[in-house]
Amino acid sequence: MTQARRQRGAFITLEGGEGAGKSTQARLLAEALRGRGLDVVATREPGGSTGAEDIRTLLVTGEPGRWDPMTEALLHYAARRDHCRRVIAPALVGGRWVVCDRFADSTMAYQGYGHQLGRETIRRLDALVLDGFKPDLTVILDLPVEQGLARAGGRGGAEDRYERMDVAFHERLREGFLEIARRDRQRCAVVSAEGTPEEVHAAILAAVAERLPLPDAAAPAGDGPA
């Protein structure tokens, strides 16, 4: 990574299927990075900007068959474009680090693999909207489908549209994420989500430290030399 890239800030995304713990781990990672003195923006998809949050409601609520796969993909990319323009890009240009709960790999996995639109369809849409823009590091949290759905089912709430899709969809989704990681090993790190939140966080932090130039953890106040 060049010095200019470091000054620009770093973009980290967390991905995975339902119940993998992405939201918890994104929060823990953002806190850990702030503890190292970094200025961190924590955000999510779908959502992250005012307009994108409005689109999020259309995507994560209602019946599983509410949208056809292509409409779903277009909605995700409409939200993503607004999110990138208004939140992610300005933060990176300002030298801040961005930790995002989901990004474009979710559309490839959910709509490309899960809904079987295909890699090429999503790739073309991604090129049109993002023009090659990608995270510096993507951490994919991997969990067997039955475990993930059991965890997700215990959360409750109205945002359960994807959770209610059939098991075959979720199996394709999991394989999609693993295939994304196999195709882009330089950017992606796969971390098992089967451990405790603390164990998973430690593995994520190790993956980040291996790939990106992290400053040392800030020393507690009063711990300097006398």
Closest by Cα among 209, 222, 226 to 10: 209
Asked if residue 112 belongs to a known ligand binding site, the reply is: no
Asked if residue 176 belongs to a known ligand binding site, the reply is: no
Query: How far is the C-alpha of 166 from the C-alpha of 17, rounded, in Å?
Result: 13
Query: How far is the C-alpha of 19 from the C-alpha of 142, rounded, in Å?
Result: 10
| Upstream peptide bond of 46 is cis (omega within 30 degrees of 0) | yes
Would you call 118 helix, strand, or coil by DSSP?
Answer: coil
Asked if residue 19 belongs to a known ligand binding site, the reply is: yes
Asked if residue 134 belongs to a known ligand binding site, the reply is: no
Helices (H), the chain: 3-8, 22-35, 50-60, 69-83, 89-93, 104-107, 119-130, 145-153, 167-183, 197-211
Asked if residue 20 belongs to a known ligand binding site, the reply is: yes
Joined together, the tokens standing for residue 147 give: 């475990």
Annotated binding site: 16-23
Annotated binding site for ATP: 16-23
